[in-house]
Structure formats: structure tokens, C-alpha cells
Amino acid sequence: MGFRQNLISVSLLLAVAVFTACRNNVGTAPILLFNGTGTSPNDVAAVEAILESNHLNYSTANSKQLNAMSESQIRAYQLLIIPGGNFIDMGKSLTSATTTNIHNAVQNGLNYFGICAGGFLAGKSAYYNSLNLASGATFGFYQNQGARKAAVEINCAGGPTLDQYWEDGPQFTGWGSVVGKYPDGTPAIVEGTSGNGWVILIGIHPEAPENWRRGITFNTPASTDNAYAGILIKAALNRTSLSHY
């Protein structure tokens, strides 16, 4: 029995090691999720939940790890996801060489999905290291009548209107094809090419779990918004053009 139990334990340890390697080692997954300085840990967890529910294999990298990666190492992935958080702190945590490597990797075929702060970071800035993936465009905040977070009605081209969680998110006037609009008509979701890369930027949080909604009234269930988050991530990964205005 002792030998058999040891054999089972070793097998379990090997299975865990393989799973961990598939999720975390550089170059072993199609998706790289940034979880470094400036990212919201809650949003990183929310994005991970969407990736896992859609059976999408991914690795993670913090600021130190991303700063240590070459352009070719970044290009080993199909998709880079930068989630919500503080885009200024994100940019300052990355070296200019790193943001140049990411920019060049996208120009050479890496796809990019920017959520809220990740959308801001895709623009151009003179105040922090940005990625400049949007033809020199600089993005501003969506002006939501002084609110800092809210349920915002997003009108999606060719699809239903969805109440989405929004928290100090950007609007993307000046770049890309508009997939979804805020109530004032400014772009909430955009897509387009940056060099040879496919880029989708969103100013809202369709990945937001139910517990983010406390105290806010939504007409769309969290499960519906979460399903849309999966659609957006797969479109970014697979270079799929969504219906747009």
C-alpha cells in the first residue's frame, strides 16, 4: 500500500506540475495576461475566471517579468491582455524598452486586448511609457455625469444593448472601427489593425463578476456580460472582426 500511495502522490504532483507549466511558463500558452504593478488584482482575477470558463490557456507576467522579456519572447504568444487598474502606474512600471518591445511585437503580428486601463495604455502619452498602438491617438475618459462607476448602456453593432459595468473607463474617439457605443455616441469598444497585429480596446468591464454590482442596478445579468467578455477575448485571440458601425 505504501508504494502504491507514493506512486499516486507522485502522479498527482506531476499532473499539478504540468498544469502549472501550461498556465505559467513563458511561451507555453497562446495568451499572456499582464498582472503587474498598476493592475487591479480583482480585475486580473475576473479576467482569469473568463479565460478559465472558456478553456483558454494562458500565462501571466508581472512588471519585472515583462521587463525581462525580449520582443521575440513576447511574440511567442498570440495575444497580450492588459486588464483594468491604474494605467499611469502600469506605464511607469514598464521600461521604455519594454513598451517598445510590445509595440514592435504587435506591429509584427501579436494581438492585443486592452480593458479600461489597458485601453488607455494602448494610446500615446508623453507622461508615462505607453504602447502607441492606435496611430498616435490619445484617449480620454468617458464623461458619465460625474459618476466614477455605474451600469452603462452599451449599444453594440448588430447585437443587443447591454448594461455593462464601467469605472472611470476611456472612450476611443479617433481610432478603429466602432463595435460598441456609450449612450452619448462615443466609442466604448473598438477594433482594428496595428501593423500586422489585431487590437481590440474596451472601456467597460464585461468580465465583472456579480459582486462588483452591489448597490448598482443592471438590466443585463452578469452571466450575459461575462459571456460577451469571452466573445471579445476570442475575437482578439483569433483576429475575428466583430460587427461594427
Contact partners, residue 213, CB within 8 Å, separation at least 6 = 151, 165, 222
Q: What is the pLDDT of residue 9?
A: 41
Q: What is the pLDDT of residue 123?
A: 98
In a structure prediction context, what are the per-residue pLDDT tens digits for the chain, which is 245 residues long? Answer: 443 444 334 344 434 343 444 444 444 699 999 999 999 999 999 999 999 999 999 999 999 999 999 999 999 999 999 999 999 999 999 999 999 999 999 999 999 999 999 999 999 999 999 999 999 999 999 999 889 999 999 999 988 899 999 999 999 999 999 999 999 999 999 999 999 999 999 999 999 999 999 999 999 999 999 999 999 999 999 999 999 99
Burial 25-42 (b: 16+ CB within 10 A, else e): eeeebebbbbbbbbbbeb
Q: What is the pLDDT of residue 162?
A: 97
pTM of the predicted structure, to 2 decimals: 0.89
Q: What is the pLDDT of residue 160?
A: 87
Residues 141 and 169 sit within 8 Å (Cβ to Cβ): yes
Please report, for the chain, the start and end positions of each structural domain, with discontinuous segments joined by +: 22-238
The CATH homologous superfamily to which domain 22-238 belongs is Class I glutamine amidotransferase (GATase) domain (3.40.50.880)
